[in-house]
Amino acid sequence: MSYRFRDLQIDKIGVVGSGNIGPDIALFFAKAFHAHGVPVVVVDVADDAVARGRAKAEQKIAKGRESGAFKPAAADAMLATLTFTTDYAQLAGASLVIEAATENLEIKKKIFAQLATLCGPQAILASNSSHIEPEEIFGGLDAATRERTAVIHYFFPAERNLLVEIVPGRDTLPAHTTALMGLYEEIGKIPVLVGGRFGYAVNPVFEGLFLAAALAVEEGLGTVKEVDTAARKALGLGVGPFTAMNLTGGNPITNHSLDVMTSKLNPWFRSPRLMKEAMASGKPWDTPKRDEKVELTPGQHTAIADTMLGAYFGLAGEILDSGIITLADLELGVETGLAMRAPFAMMNEIGVGRALALVQAYAAAHPGFPVPQCIAAQAATGAPFVIPVVIRQDDGDVAVLTIRRPKVLNALNDDVYAQLADHARALRDDATIAAVVITGFGPKAFVSGADVNFLAAITSPAEGVTTSERSKVPGNLFETLGKPVICAMNGMAFGGGNELAMCCTARLIRAGLGVAVGQPEANLGIVPGAGATQRLPRLVGVTLAAELLRTGRTLSGKEAVASGLVSAEVDGDVVAAAVTLARGTARGTIRLTPVHSGPIATPDELPAVELGHLSRATDALISRAIVEGCRMPLAEGLRFESELFGACCATEDMRIGVQNFIANGPRVKAEFVNR
């Protein structure tokens, strides 16, 4: 069996190295590909390493089976997918091989020389190096082989940490880079594209923050425990920098890489005295134990926090200045890979001017530390950084917009709405673009709905009307763009996501979704505010639309197609299918019918539905929006919906529903009071 994504055919996957990270990489592939019968072969030269790697993978699968994370059949299939061996010949025929051996350049060169001979001419050869430039790793290979090489840098723990840095070399074919970025997104990772500088983009932040923490201890700002605690709180880290070093076993690599960074990045980087002493002793860092309280004075906490923030912002800014990564990818990569607050959003929060002052103070006290030009330039504008969450990539004359907020399943907030509107205006006036595709990032969700915190911030009916009108702007722009707009529903589309999709000329959806589309607003005690009460009845009929809107019932992908809401399910790459449909529509070879913009007939009273625990007050407003609003032209009905959304914001039930969702999540039913 095999797996195909776009032009990439995966028949077998190889992992070289059964040490700390290789088995975890293999386990991730087994989770991703076991249903497709793709074998995953882990090779190591040492029998004991093979045995330990096999035992590690089996233990994690068993733990997943016991916890319910893996169904028994899936766990069995994952075990059957994995092979651990010392026989390199079993890598023959592999389509993708990840080298995960020790961080030693000469060993890596030998491995790839062997793989180039063993694997076929189509195999992609990748290294999981954490620091070494692709040109150094793959430089000894012939030109044709270098075209299909790249660094694919995983982060600890590799089977669960979603981030991978994709680092092509100078000779890597762009098509292979694009294929790898798409493949990793499709199988559930968050890939970011990085240039081949030593350490890439994220490790200089991780190791630089460790260095800053070690220097803070050396400078007398606190003990290891105190600095670890203060840094964790200041930076929003899951664990402090010293604790992270213990967990990852990172001392040897960090000790070496910090010294290399001195010449390759800037002279501030070096392995500090504290690290040298730790390496000599072989002991772990003396970090806070579980539930141990480490007390700091307010002044001590402020001093440590300021020095760590100055270092953090400076490190992130220098990486952006280097040009190896975009701001959007760096922001996402650091937040995902290091489980900490993203740097540029944090600078916006405290003020970019204040962030610049912290960096300048840190640089003044630490020779060789740069003050990034990007921070200084942004501070001079007096405006915050613009952090892209809607990413545009052009496929010839078709622009593809991707909503990318994976942490919240691409939920909509003011930033998303504003950026979508900006893109719509730019695309309307772009003569090189004939059509548009809108999609979401990852395999799970097109858009999971509006960010509930965004809804919770509404304080009055008037603000509710304004919010509803603002949320309609991008959809209205796309609906009247004058060019075909196709929604590629890569996963579920709930609430505002489905409302955005309905503004498009047509919708395609990933095949096999049991829960695909829905308007769950009634469960939160709110009226849909971005057009659902007007567009859904025009697309699927008043009776079905009213039931879905009033009860929050969802449709599967097949049901969505049968209802007329979605044009077709796509078994494979839904974005590619949407691009084809968009281009064909733009060229006149395919005809599509947009949403009817005139009034439609509605009954004086809607058919009864079972409301259960749902708010009768909210239901009355939703029903009015459908019955009265759909009798108006679409534009007037949309405005009427906004007014009723505002009226909903005056009800107790909206507050109850939204707060219940924030506190308890979607599975706990709100206790509405029907007023």
By C-alpha distance, which of 497, 540, 537 is closest to 521?
497
Residue of 331, 521, 641, 643 marked active site: 521
532 with 498: CB under 8 angstroms?
yes
Kindly list the distances between the CA atom of residue 241 and the CA atoms of 216, 238, 344, 346, 563, in Å, as whole numbers in the listed order.
Answer: 12, 10, 20, 18, 53
71 with 44: CB under 8 angstroms?
no
By C-alpha distance, which of 419, 496, 410, 406 is closest to 455?
496
Three-state secondary structure call for residue 391: strand
Q: Are strands 506-510 and 568-570 parallel, antiparallel or unpaired?
A: parallel
5 with 183: CB under 8 angstroms?
yes
Instruction: Give CA–CA dist 465/529, Å, rounded.
Output: 9
Please provide the size of the chain in residues.
Answer: 675
Burial of 59 (0-12, 13-18, 19+ CB in 10 A): exposed
Three-state secondary structure call for residue 358: helix
Instruction: Give CA–CA dist 354/451, Å, rounded.
Output: 28
Instruction: Give CA–CA dist 529/499, Å, rounded.
Output: 9
Contacts of 556 (CB under 8 A, 6+ apart): 513, 514, 515, 516
Residue of 207, 318, 335, 499 marked active site: 499
Query: Is-catalytic flag, 652?
Result: no
Query: Is-catalytic flag, 521?
Result: yes
DSSP element (H, E) containing 210? helix 203-218
DSSP element (H, E) containing 539? helix 532-540
390 with 419: CB under 8 angstroms?
yes
Structure tokens at 585: 């529509």
Instruction: Give CA–CA dist 159/397, Å, rounded.
Output: 38
Helices 373-381, 298-322: crossing angle, 10 deg rounding: 100
13 with 83: CB under 8 angstroms?
no
As annotated, the active-site residues are: 499, 521
